[in-house]
A and B are shown apart, each in its own frame.
Chain A
Amino acid sequence: METRNIMIVGVGGQGTLLASKLLGYLLCGEGFDVKVSEVHGMSQRGGSVVTYVRWGDCVASPIIDEGEADFVVSFEKLEAARWAPRLREGGLIIVNDRETDPMPVITGAAEYPHGVLDSLRERGVRVDAVDALTLACQAGSAKAVNLVLLGRLSRSFPDIPVEKWMDAIGACVKPRFVDMNKAAFTLGRESGGAEL
């Protein structure tokens, strides 16, 4: 199988690393060659963070370049727009429909471009925007945005049964948070939204 690609993007501290860990576990379990590339250190401190997940028969490069991502899973709208050029033709952006102001916006040096998702749609990009924060809070924690988004992503993987995803959650999440995270995943997977 040709190499496929998911980018997970967000703001440092949002839980992107758990999402990539979970995907890595899941895809390894499916018997694929997998590479997951992360950025640690300074970039984590509230900055823009990006993780690459690649899988297939034999994965070479650890990173996903412009025009290569099958999916961009974004924890924040501005970051979805920032990384949209990495999407391949026909790829899908799954985005938490929330705005987190970067420091230049907080200080007034820049303005938050509020219409970024519409602008992407106008240019033919497939965008699935979901209020992941509200769903995460319904599941029991604002920190479960990552699992809501993974639940959303899982709809694009008809070959992987939901039990496999649940097993991966069980394996990657601390035991006392497993039920809450499974609930968040299910809400993301089953909540309404545009047919894609």
Chain B
Amino acid sequence: MKQLMLGNEAVARGLYEAGCRLVSGYPGTPSTEITETVANYPEVYCEWAPNEKVALEAAFGASLAGARAACTMKHVGLNVAADPLFTLSYTGVNGGLVICVADDPGMHSSQNEQDSRHYAIAAKVPMLEPADAAESRDFAMRAFALSEQFDTPVILRMCTRISHSQSLVETGAREETPLRPYVKNPQKYIMAPANAIRRHPVVEARTRALTAFAETCDLNRLEMPGERAKLGIICSGTCYQYVREVFGNSQSQENSVGILKLGLVNPLPETLIRDFAARVDRLVVIEELDPVIETHVRAMGLAVEGKNLFPLEGEFSQNTVRKAFGLPLPPSVAAEPSIPVRPPVMCAGCPHRGMFYVLSRHKVTVIGDIGCYTLGMAQPLQAVDSVLCMGASVSGIHGFNKVGGKETEGKTVAVIGDSTFMHSGMTGLVNISYNASNSTVIILDNSITGMTGHQQNPSTGYNIHGDPATKVDLEVFCHAIGIQRVRVVDPYDLAACEQVLSEELAFEGPSVIISRRPCVLLKYVKPKMPVVIDRESCRGCKKCMKLGCPAIHMEGGRAAVDDTLCVGCGVCSQLCAFGAIREPSGGEQ
């Protein structure tokens, strides 16, 4: 029976059905649900790794031992995993190895819009790109077969609109694949120069073999209205769906459209493309982000269009295709001119808010990081100065202070969440300790990976299944690497935050402040009764509004609380000089 599945769930299903034995991943939108879904299949060992490099290397180990294995990550995670990727291309695999990576065109939840296809080309590994959930399952399974047939890791490229769209999937039973025997083979698996020199030609021969495979395999598909077409479109993934949406019903003689739908996007089938080009009057590549296919086709000497018609930036849609070809758009009402934006905000009761309020009062420079606390950048707190990538806060403050000296030391902090600290903040902190940085790092420990929807990490004490696991003790870790001063503070206690922050900024040398309180959305965190505002005492000074709490607003010149949002954290009541905001007597709601 067919069932509705997210693209990500379908990938997980494909991995499962193909007999995959190990999946390791790091959460990242839009890839997270692949791993979360695999975790529901008891036949597959599944885990959250501290970062994507560890995840890919764990999958490598499982492959070396003869198992089918996979790892999962978002596009920027592949940057972290790039080191093992490039050399895995040389070693090849034993059991099939699939790297699931999800791009985010339009940056719904990402810091850049990089195109993962460049990695497949650079690392010289095949890449599959499904166009709906059914293909997501099929291609995940095909990826294992390809991996073993050609002795290579295979990248399965998803994107937000495939990962997070549900469509119908026909599922099958799991096929157990026996472990391939592990045989010691230094020439293949030890990439010292003498061996790597011999492996590189193997990689090039493999690419030639894969290119020949691409010419005839059913992963690539020609859809022609007849012998010839006026317009020929090369596309893959979600772009294929937009093309079908626009041209699916317009196959007249005068206006015929042929489609070359690529499922294997690296390496490209040059003969197939040439034959297709010869059968169409006009050749256009439609691809989101970079002109990867277009550039290749042009280098083949063919007349091709693409980025002259389509943007390099953002997500496409059917109207993007209509506009590019000058087709009429469906009529619609004009947008209202003055609709305020509704950006994401820190939740009511978010433990990060108190610390960011104190930081904004101190007017310190805040080197930020990736997570919910990136939202500390938003109005009204505007407490964050920079956000680059996972871990860059801790490494960055070190460089900032080394050149800033007395100008910046004592006036700058790094902020990083517990999961991001585990991911790649730890090594930066070792650098701070080792190279004697006069820097203060604040670990915002909300005991979960928040932004991606609550995944466990090595500092939470639970594994992906929610079972108790070894808990990395942040204080002990900091001490062990040589940080003498480690302070723990409750971010709901503004006075304590003020005091600890002042003391640690004044201290000369490395220091860590652990701002610790679990995410208010965690099930075990019970909300308290909403605060009560005494409208008689409120003077309408708007000091409480400086917190940027979505549960507080002004009503008739006085502060008012939205009882459906307020969780009674009481941070606002600490700000009120008139005692107008009170915590009601009474315990949990």
Report the minimal beta-carbon distance from B203 to chain A, rounded to whole angstroms.
35
A66 in complex: contacting residue of B245, B330, B345, B545, CB < 8 Å: B330
Enumerate A34-91 residues with CB–CB distance to B below 8 Å: 34-48, 58-63, 65-68, 78-79, 81-82, 84-89
CB pair B318 A81 closer than 8 Å: no
Q: Say whether A119 contacts B109, CB under 8 Å.
A: no
Chain B interface size band reads 35 or more
B4-A25 in contact (CB<8A): yes
B346 CB within 8 Å of chain A: yes
Cα A186 to Cα B545 with chains together (Å): 39
Residue in contact with A34 in the complex, picked from B4, B332, B338, B545, CB distance below 8 Å = B4
Is B336 in contact with A116, judged by CB distance below 8 angstroms?
Answer: yes
Q: B217-249: which have CB < 8 Å to A?
A: 238, 241-242, 244-245, 248
Are B4 and A41 neighbours in the complex by a CB distance under 8 Å? no
The 8 A CB mask of A106-144 against B (1 = contact, 0 = none) is: 111111110010011001110000000000000000100
Q: Which of A39, A42, A109 contacts B379 (CB 8 A)?
A: A109
Chain B, residues 319-338, CB within 8 Å of chain A (1/0): the string is 10000000001111111101
Which residues of B are found within 8 Å of A188, using beta-carbon distances? Answer: none
Q: Are A62 and B165 in contact (CB under 8 A)?
A: yes
B160, B336, B343: the one within 8 Å of A102 (CB)? B343
Q: How far is the CB of B294 from chain A (nearest CB, A)?
A: 22
Q: Smallest CB–CB gap between A20 and chain B, Å?
A: 8
Q: Cβ of A104 and Cβ of B336 under 8 Å apart? A: no
Q: Mark B537-581, 1 if CB is under 8 A from A, else 0.
A: 000001001001010111000000000100000000000000000
Most buried by A among B167, B238, B332: B332
Considering the chains assembled together, what is the distance between the CA atoms of A60 and B340 in angstroms?
Answer: 32
A105 within 8 A of B: yes
A61 — which chain B residues lie within 8 A by C-beta? 241-242, 244-245, 317-318
B3, B332, B372: the one contacting A45 at CB < 8 Å is: B372
Within 8 A of A (CB), among B427-453: 451-453
Q: Which residue of the partner chain, among B3, B164, B331, B346, contacts A67 with CB atoms under 8 Å?
A: B331
Task: Please tell me if the beta carbons of A78 and B318 are within 8 angstroms of each other in the complex.
Answer: no
The reply to whether A107 and B548 contact each other, CB–CB distance below 8 Å, is yes
Q: How far is the CA of A63 from the CA of B162 in the complex (A)?
A: 11
Q: How far is the CB of A115 from chain B (nearest CB, A)?
A: 10
Q: B380 contacts A40, CB within 8 Å?
A: no
Is the C-beta of B108 less than 8 angstroms from some C-beta in chain A?
Answer: yes
Residue of A12, A34, A35 near B344 (CB, 8 A) is A12
Q: Smallest CB–CB gap between B565 and chain A, Å?
A: 9
Q: Is the beta-carbon distance between B108 and A43 smaller than 8 angstroms?
A: yes
A113–B335 Cα distance when bound, in Å, is 13
Complex: A116 Cα to B337 Cα, angstroms? 11
State the CA gap A35–B238 with chains docked (Å): 13
Cβ contact within 8 Å between A102 and B340: yes
Q: In the bound complex, do residue B340 and residue A11 qualify as a contact, i.e. CB atoms below 8 Å apart?
A: no
Q: CA separation between A103 and B380, bound complex, in Å? A: 9
Interface contact B342-A48, CB-CB below 8 Å = yes
Given A34-B166, A35-B167, A104-B340, do A65 and B330 touch, yes or no (CB 8 Å)?
yes
Residues of A within 8 A of B59 (CB): none
**A62 contacts across to B, CB distance below 8 A:** 132, 161-162, 165, 167, 238, 241
When A and B form their complex, which 8 residue pairs have the shortest distance between CB atoms, in order from nearest?
Answer: A67-B330, A41-B29, A41-B109, A67-B332, A47-B344, A62-B165, A45-B344, A110-B340
B residues engaging A (CB < 8 A)?
2-4, 6, 29-30, 32-33, 108-109, 132, 160-162, 164-168, 238, 241-242, 244-245, 248, 317-319, 329-336, 338-347, 372, 375, 378-380, 451-453, 542, 545, 548, 550, 552-554, 564
Can you list 29 residue pairs at the A/B interface with Cβ under 8 Å? A13-B347, A35-B165, A35-B166, A36-B165, A36-B167, A37-B161, A38-B164, A38-B166, A40-B32, A41-B32, A45-B346, A45-B347, A45-B372, A45-B451, A46-B347, A62-B165, A62-B167, A62-B238, A63-B317, A66-B332, A67-B329, A81-B336, A85-B334, A89-B332, A102-B343, A103-B548, A105-B340, A111-B338, A113-B336
> Beyond A47-B344, A60-B248, A123-B334: 5 further Cβ-contacts under 8 Å?
A25-B4, A34-B168, A41-B29, A60-B245, A78-B340
